[in-house]
Amino acid sequence: MKVDKLLTEQRNPNTMNLDSLSTLEMVKVINLEDQKVPKAVAAETKVIAKVIDQASMRFNQGGRLIYCGAGTSGRLGILDAVELVPTFGLDPQRAVGLIAGGPKAVYQAVEGAEDSSELAKKDLEKINIDRSDTVISIAASGRTPYAIGALKAAQNIGALAVALTCVKNSEMAKYADFTIAPLVGPEVVTGSTRMKAGTAQKMVLNMISTGVMIKAGKVYQNLMVNVLPTNEKLVERATHIITLTTGCELKTARQQLKRAENNVPAAIVMQKTGLNLVQAQQLLAENNNCVSGVLKKWSQTK
C-alpha cells in the first residue's frame, strides 16, 4: 500500500486548524485524540492474550523476547526490553531491543537503515536468533522493510513472529504468526506516529511483556517480587514486599532478605514455610520461580 493511502498518514479532520488554536485548545484537542488509543488497544486484547500465551511457553523454555523496529518503533522496543531488567530482575540477555541502524539510531536517524530487509536478518543472526525466541516486530505503517525482514527471519528459523502495527491488512501481517493492529486513526500532526500510534504500541508492549513476566513467576499477587534491590530505595521496596506478603514485621523482613541474599521470592518462601535458603531456592526452581505455586504445593503437604 502506498504511504499516502495508509490510515496513519491521513489528515485528521479534527485538527485541520491546529496551528491557529490557543494553547489550551490545542492541548484539549490532543487529549481528545489520545482518548481513542485505549479503545483501539482494547479491540486487540484477544490476540494480545494469544501472543502472551505463546511467547510465555517459549520464554519459560529459555527463549528470549526480541523487539525489532525502526525510528520511534525501534526505540519503544528498546525501552520495553531494558525496563524489564530492573523491574523484574531479568537477565539482560533475555530481552533484546534491535533498531534499524544500530545503537546510534536511538538518538539520530540513520539514513536508509529502515529500508533494508536484509539488515534485520543480519541483526538477528548477530544475536543468534533461535526457534525458542519471540520476535516482536514493530512498525506503525505495517510496511517498513526492516520490520518485515525481522518477521521473515523469525519465521524462517521457527521463532514466534509477532507484528505490531496500526493499520489493517498490512504487509507485515503476511509474514507474522500473530498481528496486533490497534487502529488509532490519523494523527494530530499528520504522519507523526510517535503520538497516538506510539502510545498504542507502548500500551501493547507493556501488556505483552508484563504478561510474560507474570507467567514466568516474576510477580506474586500484584507485586514485583523479582525486583533487584540494588539501591536503598529498592531495598526498602523489597523489604516492604516481604512484609505485605507474609505479615511479618519490618525487622524480620530485613533479616529474611539478608538471609535470602537479597532474593525476594526466596525470602517470602522462607518466611512462609520456615525453610532455609537452599530449600526455598530448590522449590522455586521446581516451580518456575512462581511463589504462588510453591506456597500452594507447600500447603497441600501440610
Per-residue model confidence as pLDDT tens digits over 136-183 = 999 999 999 999 999 999 999 999 999 999 999 999 999 999 999 999
| Domain's final residue, options 159, 185, 215 | 215
CA angle 142, 76, 123 (to 5 degrees): 75
Whether the predicted pLDDT of 289 surpasses 90:
no
CATH code (residue 16) = 3.40.50.10490
224 in any annotated domain: no
| Domain's final residue, options 165, 183, 215 | 215
Same-domain status, 206 and 245: no
- pLDDT tens digits, one per residue of 253-272: 999 999 999 999 999 999 99
Active site residue 83: yes
Same-domain status, 131 and 51: yes
Same-domain status, 67 and 167: yes
- pLDDT tens digits, one per residue of 177-221: 999 999 999 999 999 999 999 999 999 999 999 999 999 989 999
Domain tally for the chain?
Answer: 2
Q: Which residues contact 243 (CB under 8 A, 6 or more apart)?
A: 249, 250, 253
Same-domain status, 23 and 108: yes
- Cα–Cα distances (Å) from 124 to 9, 154, 171, in that order, read 29, 8, 20
CATH code (residue 290) = 1.10.8.1080
Catalytic residue (choose from 9, 33, 44, 114): 114
Catalytic residue (choose from 83, 118, 171, 249): 83
Cα pseudo-dihedral 143, 146, 148, 151, rounded to 10: -150
- pLDDT tens digits, one per residue of 13-67: 999 999 999 999 999 999 999 999 999 999 999 999 999 999 999 999 999 999 9
221 in any annotated domain: no
| Domain's final residue, options 168, 183, 215 | 215
Same-domain status, 173 and 39: yes
226 in any annotated domain: no
179 in any annotated domain: yes
Query: What pLDDT was estimated at residue 4?
Result: 63
Q: Do 225 and 292 touch, CB atoms closer than 8 A?
A: no
Enclosing domain of residue 260 = 232-300
Active site residue 114: yes
